[in-house]
Amino acid sequence: MTSLDLRRVRLRSGEQHRDTHQIALEPLTFGGQRYVPVPAEPEAELTISRASTGTLFELRFSGRLYGPCQRCLADAVVERELAVREYQATNPDDDDLRTPYVSGEQLDLSAWARDALALALPEQILCRPDCAGLCPVCGNDLNVEPHEHVEESSDPRWAVLEQLKERL
């Protein structure tokens, strides 16, 4: 977990602090599948701005996740350029004026980056936009071997009636 001790950053109203940090990211579970961040510790730019009413935190980084395609299970990659902001009021009376990533004097950069990356993910992680997926009958990859199966037209339970029909 990567965190920043906010006591080290003493700012007065109107001042700004910029720094870069290596943020440790844990593997992410999405749609029942495990996605691994590569690199595991991306470099991020953190900007802290102090105002008279509170503190604005800004985080910029590139996130890349590797894992299975949700249609065909081949390797898939999701890359996102993220720029996120959080605000912490000086005397927060309301939860809307408080960031969940500040606890005491610690800013949890890992949790913030993980949540930002998770919120930026698409509905489905695919190996390519036109992924055909797996065949529901035989399980083969339809991207590699496109095919169709011919369905049996008669139900075996009706076989006796078919034989009767042939006699007539």
Cα Rg for the chain, rounded, in angstroms?
Answer: 27
Percent of the chain with pLDDT over 70: 98
Residue 125: left if φ>0, alpha if ψ -120 to 50, beta else—which one?
beta
pLDDT averaged over every residue in the chain: 91
| Cα–Cα distance for residue pair 59/25, rounded to 1 Å | 14
Tokens of 104: 């005491």
Supply the pTM of this predicted model.
0.80
Mean pLDDT of 26-37: 93
Give tens-digit pLDDT for 85-123.
Answer: 999 988 877 777 889 999 888 999 999 999 999 999 999
pLDDT band at 75 (very low <50, low <70, confident <90, very high): very high
Tokens of 164: 């009767």
Q: Would you state the pLDDT for residue 168?
A: 78
